[in-house]
Structure 1
Amino acid sequence: MRIVFAGTPAVAIPSLEAVAARHEVVAVVTREDAPLGRKRVLTPSPVAEAAERLGLPVVKANRLGEDVTARIAALRPDLGVVVAYGGLVREPLLSLPRLGWVNLHFSLLPRWRGAAPVQRAVIAGDTETGAAVFHLVPELDAGDVYAELRRPIGQDETAGELLGALADEGATLLADTVDALSAGTAAATPQTGEVTLAPKLALDDARLDLTEPAERVYARLRGVTPEPGAFVLLEGERFKVLAARRTDDEEPLPPGAVELRGKRVLAGTGTAPLELVTVQPAGRRAMPAADWMRGIASSAATASTAGSTGVVFA
């Protein structure tokens, strides 16, 4: 079939490659180049770079308006495919391809409709998730489902790790669905069950509340890793927690109190402490938590602060 593919981040690349290996991708729609890094250099999206590598024509647009619709109409596509494009497909573009549009979504619909399904699933403590290929309709992530896959969420798996796995597994699911649509054998079923929403994460979603039980703190940390990145406040500034581990054999600490026990840096929560593995103090590079702790142990600036090490997170 003649396919228009819309996607932007790296997680969409496996799907683009899988679909392009089986069908004719007549255009790849992706968001416009964005300024990245400290020097704010305009940089193509990961999907744009992948499309160039595959020799596919690219349409860069942050909004699928009249101009983009006209360009796509001229290509006479049989099907539109969306994987994390970052914008809405509205009429008349929605009905333009002969078979409409399908979307690969990284959740078991109707649970976690929205922009951050993997992150929200991990934060909520879900033990299972998956991916679904559904027929795109005007209502958010509400179309009938053609196919889905299920997988457990690992106890220590971060959102980034889980999303990477689903991107690879979902690419095959998507390509198989496109094949079935081409053959006329695809069948979709309505979504059933409770609808939950997964809005895009804000910075406040990444702040750890150390008064909560350890399992909830750890779930949130994993759910916001690598983006936007978990943090606490230390002396009013953001202190990033890049990696941590659960502890089952340590005595409790007051919520927010930090202690060096042997070679382990522990932070108190509402229940058991968490072991800090990798941290990034404000204005500094990422480092092992033990190195950071040793570096402040003799600091007079923190010697008078309450807590067994002189450090308390807020």
Structure 2
Amino acid sequence: MTRIVFAGTPAIAAQALRGIVDAGFDVVGVLTRPDAPIGRKRTLTPSPVAQEAEEAAIPTLKAEKVDETATEQLTRWQPTLGVIVAYGALLPRATLDIPTHGWVNLHYSDLPKYRGAAPVQHAILNGETTTAATVFQLEAGMDSGPLHGRAEYAIPQMTSSGTALTELTDLGTRLLIDLLPTLLQGTSLPVPQEGEPSLAPKLTRQDAFIDPTQPADELVNRINATIPEPGAWTLHGDHRIKLGVARRFDGEAEGAAGDLQAVGPQGGAVLTAGDGRGVVLSQVQPAGKQMMNTTDWLRGQQERVRLGGNHG
């Protein structure tokens, strides 16, 4: 009998778990992070993976980190294979050895590029046009194990990291399901990662600040990379304003860096960048309001709009 234990926490991990279960594989247990406070009322809420496991009637272990107690529970499940997708904590050596054929990780980069917590964000931030979903054998090093499989993904223009991550999860889940029969039998032969590694640490709110004095291409990449988390933002006077996805403007921008103006009914609202080129901003969310069409927001302003400024 082949028995899978699954470790993951956010919605993309729940998406992968659902795919594995729907494909008919036997998931005997789920490891996820503890319930977390959500929303303005800070209501303790189970993780998306915990909710998915409950719907599928799969036993669930909630642990902030994999300590001795968690390791004992994982051992009792007697897994053939461990599958991990964005669990949010490292697995200790003793845990890696529990499943008969170890653990595999579904990762969202063309390894060894972008090892770490935010591979899709860094790929978009750096202007990559392609990335990949990869399945690799988990080992003690960070995202350094040999590769069982890879599926390439072309990053569309005007795509946020959130949208790209969802699409990569669809792609990666199909890849994982295709690989599971040989992974469970222990007959898959992974190959070492080749190339120069790079790191993709979690982005901060500071990383998500949009400074219009930077070149247009860099602004587009930073805006799209930081949506939805930590959330692209800039300043309108003394007030913070969140930004929706962006693209390069094909025409000539007018005014100084930071000027925002409408360009005809089909042109949208264009932000002038530091190199004199333009960035089309699809939506904005002023403080205390909902996300709205940028051109509609501009119509309600009493004077010329300039974004950016000192945010220190």
TM-score, normalised to structure 2's length?
Answer: 0.93
**Structure 1 residues 218, 289: closer, same or farther in 2, change over 3 A?**
same
What is aligned with 2:308?
Answer: 313
How big is each residue's C-alpha offset from its partner over 1:227-283, in whole Å with a ceiling of 9 and x where there is no partner? 111111222332111233321113343111222344442211023122222101122
What is aligned with 1:187?
Answer: 189
Whole-Å separation in 2 of the counterparts to 1:229 and 1:106: 20
How big is each residue's C-alpha offset from its partner over 1:109-159, in whole Å with a ceiling of 9 and x where there is no partner? 000000000011001001110111111111100001111111211122221
8 A contact 1:107–1:117 mirrored in 2: yes
What is aligned with 1:289?
Answer: 294
Following TM superposition, by how much is the alpha carbon of 1:310 offset from its aligned partner in structure 2, in angstroms?
A: 4.8
Determine helix, strand or coil for the equivalent of 1:137: coil
Whole-Å separation in 2 of the counterparts to 1:25 and 1:251: 55
Letter in 1 for 2:308: F
What is aligned with 1:300?
Answer: none
What is aligned with 2:33?
Answer: 31
1:268 aligns with 2:272: yes
Equivalent pairs, count: 304
Whole-Å separation in 1 of the counterparts to 2:292 and 2:258: 20
Whole-Å separation in 2 of the counterparts to 1:187 and 1:113: 21
Determine helix, strand or coil for the equivalent of 1:175: helix
- 2:240 pairs, out of 238, 250, 255, with 238
What is aligned with 1:149?
Answer: 151
Whole-Å separation in 2 of the counterparts to 1:251 and 1:72: 58
Determine helix, strand or coil for the equivalent of 2:262: strand
- 2:284 pairs, out of 279, 286, 311, with 279
| Deviating more after overlay: 203-212 vs 135-144 | 203-212
| Deviating more after overlay: 136-145 vs 263-272 | 263-272
Q: CA RMSD in A?
A: 1.5
Whole-Å separation in 1 of the counterparts to 2:141 and 2:168: 24
How big is each residue's C-alpha offset from its partner over 1:14-34, in whole Å with a ceiling of 9 and x where there is no partner? 321232233221111111111
What is aligned with 2:77?
Answer: 75
Whole-Å separation in 2 of the counterparts to 1:162 and 1:244: 14
Following TM superposition, by how much is the alpha carbon of 1:93 offset from its aligned partner in structure 2, in angstroms?
A: 0.8
Task: Describe how 1:10-159 pairs up with structure 2 within 5 A.
Answer: 10-20=11-21, 21-159=23-161
1:253 aligns with 2:248: no
8 A contact 1:7–1:83 mirrored in 2: yes
| Deviating more after overlay: 206-215 vs 251-260 | 251-260
8 A contact 2:105–2:137 mirrored in 1: yes
Identity of aligned residues (%): 43
Determine helix, strand or coil for the equivalent of 2:211: coil
Letter in 1 for 2:19: A
Determine helix, strand or coil for the equivalent of 2:206: helix
Following TM superposition, by how much is the alpha carbon of 1:207 offset from its aligned partner in structure 2, in angstroms?
A: 0.8
Determine helix, strand or coil for the equivalent of 1:170: helix
What is aligned with 1:306?
Answer: none
Whole-Å separation in 1 of the counterparts to 2:305 and 2:114: 41
| Deviating more after overlay: 54-63 vs 288-297 | 288-297
8 A contact 2:208–2:230 mirrored in 1: yes
**Structure 1 residues 175, 312: closer, same or farther in 2, change over 3 A?**
closer
8 A contact 1:134–1:145 mirrored in 2: yes
User: Unpaired segments of 5 or more residues in structure 1?
Assistant: 298-302, 304-308
